[in-house]
Each structure stands twice: as structure tokens, then as C-alpha cells.
């Protein structure tokens, strides 16, 4: 951490904040705004950290927004992201040598691979300079942040969670939010599809307690590795060795059999009782919504160790853009070669950050035969973490660059008809709130790989169209048309919903000569001119099986919050919003310098 702080200082990528700030809302609110500035703002080092509720002043600083720019990501990796992807591609395409020189070249490549394997040391690590055990264990002595007003408590947000299978043959490094219940208990947010959850199932069946060691800090690359979507059973720290060209140096935890990097700043060790579950949450998550209370396993902390000179690493999640935008960019680039092993004709893919990654993927492919795009949809929805993707758009090799949204959307809309859509059902991320039931729901694929002749509608101005719409749908409040120059303009209508949105859509079918794609959103909390946040809202809020309607060439999308009018029986969560009184306090302290235009654009 100290080396990272110095590195970022040298490259003008760090802001040090010395004014006293609270771990309750103040520090995370500042970090939340910082990452939304141009180029991700700066990394933030808070050196005067307090907990006003308990009157505690912490010795260590809090470090945030570390990965929050493309430049910082590459500084932390120590090389270009593309070079890592190229190296993986080379390994995947390694062929038997055809001659003596090829054998020499391969020998060099294989010899270099010896450094990717973690090295277990027999000594203690710098992370074990200070030891708290038994009655001295107290999680409240760590500057764990409470990010949002409705959060169930403080959460560790950048913990490296080390676990192993029951037989000890497989190890896993993951990153999960960890709720602090009291001085020695943590909530383990192990979603059912995650590797740690699979390990926990083994311990449950055997009736044995499960060992867990949680590290915080050290080389930031450990934290990125915890998010890497590697196949089940593959040690994520192999990526550290591959990238850094040196092995991760590990030491054994004091009270569990697990090994952790010797240079991390904190280690929290303990055991998870297979018979104990506890309500975890709510938590304002990266979807931009709160994930609601649910039962999860509980870890009883046996020991906390730490460095004498330590730094507490944390992140903040909520509405986009966030630090995970940049971490996800690196992940997408690096693991593209592995994804191509499943779908060889994939040319490129991109997950827009305002759709929360899993809610939307754009993919460019080389279509070779009829139905090829649909085959890709099935492949994506069955491939590791890609299986959580809700909406996928597939384009051919002639499509514009996937990050060039204006040109790309034009290309898609000029090729779209309702027949381009494929709607099915599959697994969903546990954080998804929109489906009728948890963990499973509708998925939408769009095949834009082939040009289809579509006649453009007869366009009206927004005001004229709104009058016609309000005659048919009195609940309509406002209206705006996007992409009017395309063959499928998108009409966004805000409503004060008093009935199921499908009824609104059916009432507007008589305007099909003027409307092609119509999206309904609630008038409350939505700006119908803000396309960035509309993408966030709609991709979060729809279940394709329930919320997409078709009549001829006209398509309707229900992006409203769901309730009893929709037969929705689950509880709908609140948006993640900043606390106004906290923002006023930060302004009075002279540390809030966020542009009001950005405040509105990102709906803080």
C-alpha cells in the first residue's frame, strides 16, 4: 500500500485529504463523487479518520478510488492491459515445437511460467506484526465504512476472501461484501453461484466448520485477482504471478490452515459455522439499488493481525460510473482470449458501465451461417459469469466500434425488427431485483448481424406526439424521442403509473405509424432527456419475459418500478441516493467540489 501511494503521488494520481472525516457516510460520499469526475478523478487518501458515533480516532488512513481510472489501472498492473491479454493468447495457442529453435523458444516461455505459482513461506509475514486474539478481537477498531444511510451496518468492501475446499485440494480467492455485525462476527455475502458458496456446501454436508481468512490491502493486484472470473478450482493468485512475473509470497494464517500474501495490511481469520445463518443487508450495491435483507452464513472471527504501518483499502458502490468501471475494463480485456475459446468467432465485446455490466453486453462477431448469433447467445448464457448477463446485442464485423455508442445505436436501430429479438429464461445475478423470483428470470438477445429492410415511421414532434399519447394514456406526463434519424426511433414516456404498463402499450398501438420502440418509465426520479441514466434504469428494471411487448413493428418496454399492479410480490428496493445533510456537512468543511451538472447527470 505504501509503495502504491508513492507511485500514485509521483504520477499526480492522488489527492490527500487531511481534514477530519467520518467513516459513517462522509468518506464514502466523497469517494462516490470523485470517481464520477473526468477520467475517474484521483485516488483519495483520508489521513484524519474518525468514528463520531463511538468517539474513535483511527491511527491508519483510508485509501479509496485506487483503480478508478484507466491510467491508474495500468500503473497498478505495471504494464499495459493489452500485453497481459496478448500473453494469455500466446499461452492458449502454444503449439508443439517444429524445430530446434522452436524448442528453445518454448523452453524460455515455459521457464517464465515457473514464477506464476504462489510461493509458501515458512516464516511469518509483515501482515502479522500485530496480533489480536480471543477477547482482544474487535472489528470496530478497524475503520470499516458505512456507505449509505439504509445500509444494515458497516461493510468491508475490498476484502480478499481466502477459502478452501473441504479436502483442502482447491483454494479460492474471491471478493464479497462483508457486514460487520459486532466485534467478532461478519456476514458472508456468498451468492449461491460463487465458488466460496460451493465450498460452504461441502462443509455443511460434512457438518464441519469452514476456515476463512480475509486480507485487506497489500499489493492492489491481489484485490483485482479476487474479482478475476477464473474457472472453478483455479487459484486466482496465478494471475498475480502471470502479470507481475514474480510469485505471490504467502504465509500461513495463525488460526486457520489458509495462506495469505505476506505483505497485506490486515488479516481477519475465523470459522464459519455451517448451522448458523443471519440476516445480511440491506446494502447499497453496484446495481445502484439496495439489495435487500437475506440470510447468509456468519463468520466468527478468531484472530485479527495487521501491519504496524498500515492502510485500510475500501471502495464505494452505487449508481454508475464507479471504480468497478475500470476494474471491469481490465478484466474484459484480459479474459477476452479465454472467452474466445468458447466462441471462436467473437471479434470484440463490451459491457457499458451504465448498464451495471451484467445487465447488458455488446458483442461483435463474424457471422458464418443462419442462426449463428443465436448460437452465440446460448454460448454466452452458459459461460461462467457471462451466464448472468440479462441483455445481449450481437453485431457483425462491419459494425462501428462498440464504445462509439452514437454510431453503434444507429447501426442497430437501422437493422432492428421485432424478429431480431430472442427471449428466453436463465439464471440471474443474486443482486437482480426485477425478476418475479430470485436467481432466475428473462433474458433478451438481439441479432443485429444482418441488414433488414425496415420502413421508417412518420415522425411527429415531441409536443404533438405527447398530446396524442395523453389522449390515449392520461397517466403520461412527458415524452422525448431519441435517435429520430433511424428507422426505429426510441420514444421514452414518463408516467404516473396507475395500471399495468402493458395496457398503456396496447392503447398506443393505434399510433404505430408514429412510434416504433416505446419505453415507459416512472415520472418520479427519471429525467427523460438523460440517456445515460435511462439505460441504467431500464436495464435494471426489466425482465424480458414480462416487460417486453410486441405489436407488428412496434415494441414496448416496461422500465417502471414493479408493484402489485404488475403481479409483483417481491419487495422493490430503493435507489441508492446520497444523504443531503452529509453533502451539506462536506460543503461546510470545504471538501465538496463536485460539479452540479455532474450531480444531476449521475443522479446522486
Q: Tell whether 395 and 470 lie within a shared domain.
A: no
Q: Tell whether 350 and 220 lie within a shared domain.
A: no
Average of per-residue pLDDT across 573-591: 96
| pLDDT recorded at residue 356 | 81
Concatenated DSSP letters for 254-300? SSSS-EEETT-SEEEEEEEEEEEEEEE--EE-TTSBEEPPEEEEEEE
Confirm whether 592 is domain-assigned.
no
For the chain, the residue count is 604
Q: Which of 423, 448, 473 is the endpoint of a domain?
A: 448
Concatenated DSSP letters for 344-385? TTEEEEE--GGGTTTT-EEEEE---STTHHHHHHHHHTTSGG
| pLDDT recorded at residue 29 | 97
Strand, helix or coil for residue 201: helix
Least confident of 213-222, 237-246, 258-267: 237-246
520: Cα separation from own chain's centroid:
26
Q: Tell whether 186 and 62 lie within a shared domain.
A: yes
d(CA 435, CA 289): 14
Q: What is the pLDDT of residues 117-158, one digit of tens each?
A: 899 999 999 999 999 999 999 999 999 999 999 999 999 999
Q: What is the pLDDT of residues 4-21, one digit of tens each?
A: 999 999 999 999 999 999
Average of per-residue pLDDT across 82-102: 68
Q: Tell whether 115 and 238 lie within a shared domain.
A: yes
Cβ contacts of residue 310 below 8 Å, gap of 6+? 1, 60, 217, 265, 266
Confirm whether 338 is domain-assigned.
no
Phi, psi of 163 (to 5 degrees): -140, 170
Q: Tell whether 123 and 175 lie within a shared domain.
A: yes
DSSP state of 193: T
| pLDDT recorded at residue 226 | 92
Q: Which of 448, 478, 510 is the endpoint of a domain?
A: 448
Q: Tell whether 81 and 191 lie within a shared domain.
A: yes
Residue 538 is inside which H or E element, if any? helix 531-541
Confirm whether 236 is domain-assigned.
yes
Q: Whose grid coordinates read 496480533?
A: 131
DSSP state of 227: T
Q: What is the model's pTM?
A: 0.92
Q: What is the pLDDT of residues 390-408, one digit of tens each?
A: 999 999 999 999 999 999 9
Q: Tell whether 134 and 166 lie within a shared domain.
A: yes
Find out whether 361 and 327 touch, Cβ atoms under 8 Å. no
The three cell numbers of residue 584 are 451539506
Strand, helix or coil for residue 448: strand
Report the DSSP pairing between strands 294-306 and 290-291.
Answer: unpaired
Find out whether 189 and 226 touch, Cβ atoms under 8 Å. no
Please report how the helices 462-472 and 501-508 are oriented relative to each other, as an axis angle in degrees rounded to 10: 110
DSSP state of 509: G
Cα-trace Rg, the chain: 25
Question: Could you count the other beta carbons within 10 Å of the beta carbon of residue 65?
Answer: 28
d(CA 261, CA 253): 10
Average of per-residue pLDDT across 109-115: 61
Confidence of residue 107 (pLDDT cuts 50, 70, 90): low
Average of per-residue pLDDT across 581-599: 93
- Answer whether residue 48 shows pLDDT above 90: yes
Confirm whether 594 is domain-assigned.
no
| pLDDT recorded at residue 99 | 61
Q: Tell whether 90 and 42 lie within a shared domain.
A: yes
Average pLDDT score over the chain:
92
Q: Tell whether 177 and 93 lie within a shared domain.
A: yes
| pLDDT recorded at residue 338 | 81
d(CA 547, CA 541): 9
Q: Give me the CATH number covering residue 25.
A: 2.30.110.10
Q: Which of 448, 470, 496 is the endpoint of a domain?
A: 448
Burial profile 494-530: b = 16 or more Cβ within 10 angstroms, e = fewer: bbebeebbbebbebbeebeebbbbbbbbbbeebbbeb
| pLDDT recorded at residue 343 | 86
- Answer whether residue 336 shows pLDDT above 90: no
Q: Give me the CATH number covering residue 544.
A: 3.40.1670.10
d(CA 447, CA 392): 9
Average of per-residue pLDDT across 466-490: 97
CA distances from 378 to 357, 371, 373, 424, 443 (A): 18, 11, 9, 10, 11
Average of per-residue pLDDT across 220-227: 94
| pLDDT recorded at residue 72 | 96
Cβ contacts of residue 408 below 8 Å, gap of 6+? 362, 395, 399, 400, 401, 402
Find out whether 578 and 32 touch, Cβ atoms under 8 Å. yes
Q: What is the pLDDT of residues 270-296, one digit of tens each?
A: 999 999 999 999 999 999 999 999 999
Confidence of residue 108 (pLDDT cuts 50, 70, 90): low
Cβ contacts of residue 592 below 8 Å, gap of 6+? 30, 33, 583, 586
Confirm whether 574 is domain-assigned.
no
| pLDDT recorded at residue 357 | 79
Confidence of residue 297 (pLDDT cuts 50, 70, 90): very high
Confirm whether 241 is domain-assigned.
yes
Q: Tell whether 420 and 283 lie within a shared domain.
A: no
Q: What is the pLDDT of residues 421-469, one digit of tens each?
A: 999 999 898 889 999 999 899 999 999 998 888 888 999 999 999 999 9
Q: Tell whether 112 and 218 lie within a shared domain.
A: yes
Give the count of domains, the chain.
Answer: 3
Q: Tell whether 359 and 280 lie within a shared domain.
A: no
| pLDDT recorded at residue 106 | 45
Confirm whether 225 is domain-assigned.
yes
Confirm whether 384 is domain-assigned.
yes
Confidence of residue 384 (pLDDT cuts 50, 70, 90): confident
- Domain carrying residue 384: 343-448
| pLDDT recorded at residue 110 | 52
DSSP state of 152: S
Amino acid at each position: 500500500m505504501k509503495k502504491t501511494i508513492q507511485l500514485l503521488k509521483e504520477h499526480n494520481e492522488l489527492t490527500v485529504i487531511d481534514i477530519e472525516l467520518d467513516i459513517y457516510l462522509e468518506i464514502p460520499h466523497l469517494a462516490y463523487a470523485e470517481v464520477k469526475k473526468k477520467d475517474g478523478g484521483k485516488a483519495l487518501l483520508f489521513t484524519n479518520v474518525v468514528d463520531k458515533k463511538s468517539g474513535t480516532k483511527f491511527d491508519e488512513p483510508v485509501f479509496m478510488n485506487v483503480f478508478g481510472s484507466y491510467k491508474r489501472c495500468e500503473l497498478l498492473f505495471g504494464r499495459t492491459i493489452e500485453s497481459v491479454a496478448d500473453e494469455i493468447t500466446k499461452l492458449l495457442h502454444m503449439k508443439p515445437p517444429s524445430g530446434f529453435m522452436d524448442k528453445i523458444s518454448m523452453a524460455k516461455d515455459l521457464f517464465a511460467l515457473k514464477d506464476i505459482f504462489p510461493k509458501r513461506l515458512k516464516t511469518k509475514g509483515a501482515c502479522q506484526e500485530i496480533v489480536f486474539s480471543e477477547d482482544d478481537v474487535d472489528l470496530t477498531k478497524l475503520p470499516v465504512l458505512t456507505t449509505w444511510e439504509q445500509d444494515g451496518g458497516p461493510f468491508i468492501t475490498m476484502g480478499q476472501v481466502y477459502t478452501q475446499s473441504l479436502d483442502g485440494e482447491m483454494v479460492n480467492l474471491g471478493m464479497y461484501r462483508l457486514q460487520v455485525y459486532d466485534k467478532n462476527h461478519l456476514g458472508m455475502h456468498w451468492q449461491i453461484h460463487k465458488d466460496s458458496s460451493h465450498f460452504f456446501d461441502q462443509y455443511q454436508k460434512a457438518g464441519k466448520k469452514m476456515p476463512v481468512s480475509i486480507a485487506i490491502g497489500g499489493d492492489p493486484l491481489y484485490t483485482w485477482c479476487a474479482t478475476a472470473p477464473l474457472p472453478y478450482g483455479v487459484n486466482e493468485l496465478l494471475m498475480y504471478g502471470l502479470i507481475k512475473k514474480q510469485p505471490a509470497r504467502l504465509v500461513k494464517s495463525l488460526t486457520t490452515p489458509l495462506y495469505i500474501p505476506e505483505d497485506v495490511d490486515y488479516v481477519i481469520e475465523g470459522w464459519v459455522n455451517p448451522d448458523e445463518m443471519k440476516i445480511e443487508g440491506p446494502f447499497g450495491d453496484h446495481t445502484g439499488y439496495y439489495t435487500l435483507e437475506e440470510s447468509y452464513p456468519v463468520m466468527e472471527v478468531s484472530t485479527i493481525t495487521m501491519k504496524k504501518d498500515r492502510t485500510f483499502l475500501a471502495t464505494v458502490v452505487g449508481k454508475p460510473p464507479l471504480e468497478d468501471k475500470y476494474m471491469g475494463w481490465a478484466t474484459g480485456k484480459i479474459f477476452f482470449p479465454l472467452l474466445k475459446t468458447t466462441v471462436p468467432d467473437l471479434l470484440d465485446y463490451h459491457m457499458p458501465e451504465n448498464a451495471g455490466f451484467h445487465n447488458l453486453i455488446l458483442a461483435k462477431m463474424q457471422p458464418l451461417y443462419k442462426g449463428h448469433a443465436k448460437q452465440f447467445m446460448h454460448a454466452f448464457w452458459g459461460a461462467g459469469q457471462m451466464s448472468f448477463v440479462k441483455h445481449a446485442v450481437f453485431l457483425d464485423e462491419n459494425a462501428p466500434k462498440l464504445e462509439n455508442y452514437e454510431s453503434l445505436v444507429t447501426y442497430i436501430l437501422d437493422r432492428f425488427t421485432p424478429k431480431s429479438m430472442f427471449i428466453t429464461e436463465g439464471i440471474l445475478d443474486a443482486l437482480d431485483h426485477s425478476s418475479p423470483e430470485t436467481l432466475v428470470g428473462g433474458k433478451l438477445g438481439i441479432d443485429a448481424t444482418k441488414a433488414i429492410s425496415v420502413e421508417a415511421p412518420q415522425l411527429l414532434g415531441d409536443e404533438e406526439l405527447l398530446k396524442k399519447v395523453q389522449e390515449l394514456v392520461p397517466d403520461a406526463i412527458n415524452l422525448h424521442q431519441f435517435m429520430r434519424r433511424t428507422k426505429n426511433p426510441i420514444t421514452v414516456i414518463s408516467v404516473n403509473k396507475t395500471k399495468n404498463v402493458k395496457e398503456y402499450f396496447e392503447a398506443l398501438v393505434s399510433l404505430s405509424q408514429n412510434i416504433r420502440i416505446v419505453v415507459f418509465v416512472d415520472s418520479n426520479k427519471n429525467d427523460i432527456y438523460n440517456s445515460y441514466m435511462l439505460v441504467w434504469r431500464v436495464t435494471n428494471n426489466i425482465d424480458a419475459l414480462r416487460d417486453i411487448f410486441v405489436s407488428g413493428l412496434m415494441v414496448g418496454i416496461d422500465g417502471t418500478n414493479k408493484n402489485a399492479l404488475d403481479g409483483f410480490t417481491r419487495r422493490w428496493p430503493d435507489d441508492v441516493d446520497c444523504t443531503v445533510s452529509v453533502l451539506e456537512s462536506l460543503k461546510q468543511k470545504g471538501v465538496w467540489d463536485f460539479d452540479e451538472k455532474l450531480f444531476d447527470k449521475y443522479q446522486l
